[in-house]
Amino acid sequence: MKKLFISVLWILFEIHTANTQSPHGSGLRFDCALCHSSDSWTFNSKNYTFNHDSTSFPLIGQHATLECRSCHTSLSFKDIPSDCISCHVDIHQQTLGNDCARCHTSLTWVVENITKIHEQTSFPLMGAHATVDCNACHQSETNVRFSPINPECISCHTQDYEMAKNPDHKSIGFSTDCSVCHKQTSVDWLGVGIVHSFFPLEQGHQISDCSQCHKSTDYNDISPECINCHQKDFTNAKNPDHSLFPTQCNLCHTLAIGWMPASFTNHDSRFPIYSGNHKNEWDQCIECHINPGDYITFSCVKCHEHNNAGKLAKEHDEVSNYQYESNACYACHPKGN
């Protein structure tokens, strides 16, 4: 009788244990009332009071709107993977790795800062590249597979290169490295987008069309000498007449638009007038260059004490073969002292 009683108690204990065991497994240690009510054991989202922030995976953004079963596919809620790829199908097919957070946030799956993200790569998106659709460069049948691509310009710009006719890039034989001439930071490939550092296109030289200087299709066939482009300006200049001037325009002119004002600031290399004894002793070129338009001929004997030949001869009585003549003055006094 005693053995029968013990057996009955054991059976009742097993039944009680089976009935009270959590379907969520032994790992979940929460009060059932956080999700269930006594009216029904069916989960009711209105009665849901469990705070997911108490776990290692707070629900924010798009994750906060999901049904539990979207992630918890079984009733066992413990040890569910928290990495993106365990729930999200990799539509990029392993071309960007498994860490979705590199580009996406849970607030929205739309990538809005691709330019900033691209700075982490070997090809930052600058200028015109920053406005291009991703699929223009990353071409695939799905439009979302972003395999590494060839960073060389010509790999994307072959058609642009071959279609360019002003100038004709292909027939001239321009480099297929577009950055030799074009700035990546420019919003277009024209005008200020041209890299012309070997002959800066600035101020008066800032042009809108290459053909203004490059008269033939051979862009190497051009001289950097001023007179190559400015022969007409030089010939027509009459105030003063440039016919006796050197053809090196930058001796007198700056790059200011219109080439004015002009000043021969390099005069001191020939005869100091901006320094030394003659500084601030003159107002106009004609004071020394007395023949209008003739800036090669000069006069020394027209000014101050030099206008007295007798006095000057007395001061130079120790000089043999002394001549009262400007070129003789310059021969002995090339620095004006």
Residues 108 and 64 in one domain: no
Check if the beta carbon of residue 244 is closer than 8 Å to that of residue 294.
yes
The pLDDT-based confidence of 17 (bands split at 50, 70, 90) is very low
Distance CA(35)–CA(257), nearest Å, equals 79
Q: What is the pTM of this model?
A: 0.47
Residues 232 and 327 in one domain: yes
Distance CA(85)–CA(97), nearest Å, equals 10
Distance CA(11)–CA(240), nearest Å, equals 125
Distance CA(96)–CA(91), nearest Å, equals 10
Check if the beta carbon of residue 151 is closer than 8 Å to that of residue 122.
yes
Q: Where are the alpha helices (DSSP H) in 164-226?
A: 169-172
Rank 85-94, 226-235, 256-265 by mean pLDDT and report only the highest. 226-235
The pLDDT-based confidence of 32 (bands split at 50, 70, 90) is confident
Residues 326 and 236 in one domain: yes
Q: Is residue 267 part of a domain?
A: yes
Q: Is residue 37 part of a domain?
A: yes
What residues have CB less than 8 Å from 152, skipping those under 6 apart? 176, 177
Residues 51 and 94 in one domain: no
Residues 215 and 308 in one domain: no
- Which one is predicted more confidently, 249 or 24? 249
Domain count, the chain: 4
Residues 271 and 212 in one domain: no
Residues 142 and 92 in one domain: yes
**Domain range for 137:** 84-149
